[in-house]
Structure 1
């Protein structure tokens, strides 16, 4: 048994264990892969969390002989059910490099091939709907992986014209990235979004390309690379301007860029970006497609509330967040992910005000939603809340809430 097995036996996720011992999740990952070991001052706390003595901890940390890998494969610290198979991504890139001949096929034959592309597109749209409705997002992963394999097979067999295939792949790799991101597999998510952006750019699909950049920026936001995220989102906004003016792509990019500016403490830039995002209300007709573009402005109240919270404008934040709960209650289709985020933010406001009742009211409901949905996103948001709870002293209920969050399975 290694340290990872013991962690799992104790009911900890990597993030929960990292919080319990006071380190970053990536540090735990390095311990578990044998790339590093806890420093002497850290070892007593690690042993306590794992309920072992120091001698047993040394045994858990002993290097484990790795199994031989297939020739040409690479090790990864970011594997799991949310990680699209690296071989699928490599195969797609290899086939794209060999697909130039497809561009020379006769027009009539290309029309026939596009029928297959339409079939792929319809299936992609169905998968996005299933993903959006699924409580346990990872249940969608096997079907997405199968679709990715089918896309590669179609390219290898020359059954789909190159541009059409790039659009299909740009769409599907974004969904694969979403699944990886929701499972906290940031490396796999970033790789999928990068491939989605490349495929979309190849096809000249500007809105699809911009959405891949926006999703890529979410990885940077999660890893606190705020300036990098703001720069990526600025690029996404420029790409989106070249796309379909009837779609909400550029407004979504502005809404997410507001988050990056808020983390950077730039109130004016944040407000300007939020105002640009709200111009989505000026668009007519269908501004999103329900798949790779789902932004329609309906959640801007909660977005604005979250940004004000980041900027420590608590009164403005609470007003906007409570409006968001009224406008989109769970019974009317408000997703677990969205509602959970709003509840966590309201609990954080309570913590900043040292209001234990508000923390318990909203924090407990957010925890319940995280457990019911299995959402890694809501679990991550709750993990960030625990840093705020330390200001509330020795309130037993708060201590129990922190403990439950720490062992939450994401």
Structure 2
């Protein structure tokens, strides 16, 4: 048995990979990564560029990490001793902006390739069953066990996304898994397996879209949601398809292009009626429709949509899957508050938003509620209320780097203009400008 490569394993962990996810990123069995780290096996030269890319290294730096780890006194590795001493033995983590751009380029490549694969006829329509199965055997078709593992990893990535303080950190893992699924779609598969791979791809494209949306990259997010919708159609999953359309429509809602959002949401609602009646798909769509009606100034239609959304409370568990569908009714109070603020009805909004604050909110959801409460302060010409709530939102934006939270503050800022004679409001406006400038940079 060879000497352990501890620096290689440490680099893998530093970049956020498990042995399984790194294996998926470079196209090997996860046990192979373990053998690389134990020194039992050395990656072949043709695999090294992909490994180096995944780990953010040059080929020379990768070669250094693959060298056996020498031992120091008492069996302590030289790497461990150097870390204790503060020496820089491990390669420095690459520039985050450059890494993010690399992942974005890789996703754009996947967009093009996956879009083409989904547009092509399924393998089974081109050859008879016997020929297809023979081709699958030759090319290594994905089996049911692998599909189940892919599904588990997808679920895991949604959980990681939910808890990540900086959402963009999840993008390399999503990209790697999409690469694996795309490779599976390139090979002849059984009809059932192809359908599952399309479904899993649609799931992850929605997650990639959420990451881009949080980073204020709405064009990239829209591209993800479009591919998610296409893959959902191929998978024949109406709920998944409806959710992809709803996310796409929400970009227009967020940019206050309500007339563009309305027809997309109507189509999504039609699809949801063909889906699983036990899921909350149609209720989530109703919430986004309520925001759209609020933006259009239609209080009655907004109220009807909110009432439809509230019917989720009558469904039996489970009403969502924790991934591409997460609506369970717990957000109804904050959604009502947002709608009433948009409609210029602070009298209705404040009670709903106060109820929402009493709930267990994520940092981003709480920032949204606080921004709406600051808007009520604008309606009341109350500088203390505005500054109190908006300052808390500023702190969240600085802590998370979330484009969603920054955009909330950007939306609030024009409403501060009539109050800029107040010194507190002037200071708040300057801090928002500074935040927007740093975020754009």
1:261 and 2:288 correspond: no
TM-score, normalised with respect to structure 1: 0.76
Partner of residue 143 from structure 2, selected from 99, 104, 113: 113
Tell me what 1:158 maps to: 188
| Aligned pairs for 1:6-405 within 5 A | 85-98=107-120, 100-102=122-124, 105=129, 113-158=143-188, 161-328=193-360, 334-405=361-432
> Residues 322, 181 of structure 1: CA spacing in aligned structure 2 closer, same or farther, 3 A cutoff?
same
| Unmatched 5+ stretches in structure 2 | 1-100
State how far apart, in whole Å, the 2-side matches of 1:387 and 1:83 are: 34
Distance 1:167-1:323 versus aligned 2 partners, 3 A rule: same
Aligned residue for 2:71?
none
Deviations 1:359-405 (A, max 9, x none): 01111011111111221101100111111111213112211111111
- Deviation, structure 1 residue 117: 2.0
8 Å Cα contact 2:232-2:241 kept in structure 1:
yes
Number of positions where the alignment pairs a residue of Structure 1 with one of Structure 2: 328
Give the drift of 1:143: 0.7
Alignment check: 8 A CA contact 1:82 1:179 kept? no
Distance 2:216 2:173 in 1: 19
Contact 1:255 1:277 in 2 (8 A): yes
Contact 1:173 1:193 in 2 (8 A): yes
Q: Which is higher, the Rg of structure 1 or of structure 2?
A: 2
Contact 2:123 2:188 in 1 (8 A): no
- TM-superposed CA distance for 1:112, in Å, is 6.6
Q: Supply the distance in 1 between the matched residues of 2:391 and 2:385 (Cα, whole angstroms).
A: 10
In 1, Cα distance between equivalents of 2:105 and 2:275: 30
| Contact preservation (8 Å) 2:340, 2:349 | yes
Rounded to whole Å, the distance in 2 between the matches of 1:178 and 1:294 is 13
Structure 1: where are the runs of 5+ without partners? 1-78, 329-333
- Report the Cα offset of residue 151 of structure 1: 1.1
For the residue of structure 2 that corresponds to 1:327, the secondary structure is coil
- 2:109 counterpart SS class: helix
Deviation per CA, 1:203-236: give whole Å up to 9, x if none: 1101100100110001111232201201111111
State the shift of 1:159 in Å: 5.7
Q: Secondary structure at the match of 2:358?
A: helix
**Displacement after TM superposition at 1:148 (Å):** 1.1
Q: Which has the higher contact order (CA 8 A, sep 6+)?
A: 1
Are residues 301 and 105 of structure 1, via their aligned partners in 2, closer, same or farther at CA, if it must alter by over 3 Å?
farther
Separation in 2 of the partners of 1:159 and 1:142? Answer: 26
Q: Give, in angstroms, the shift of residue 155 of structure 1.
A: 1.6
The structural deviation recorded for 1:327 is 2.5
Q: Tell me whether 245-254 or 365-374 shows the greater mean CA deviation.
A: 365-374
Does the C-alpha gap of structure 1 residues 190 and 285 become closer, same or farther in structure 2, counting only changes over 3 Å?
A: same
Q: Distance in 2 between matches of 1:102 and 1:96?
A: 14
Deviations 1:107-144 (A, max 9, x none): 99899723322221111111000001101001111111
Structure 2 length normalisation: TM-score? 0.71
What secondary structure is seen at the aligned counterpart in 2 of 1:368?
A: helix
Structure 1 window deviating more from structure 2 (144-153 vs 81-90): it is 81-90
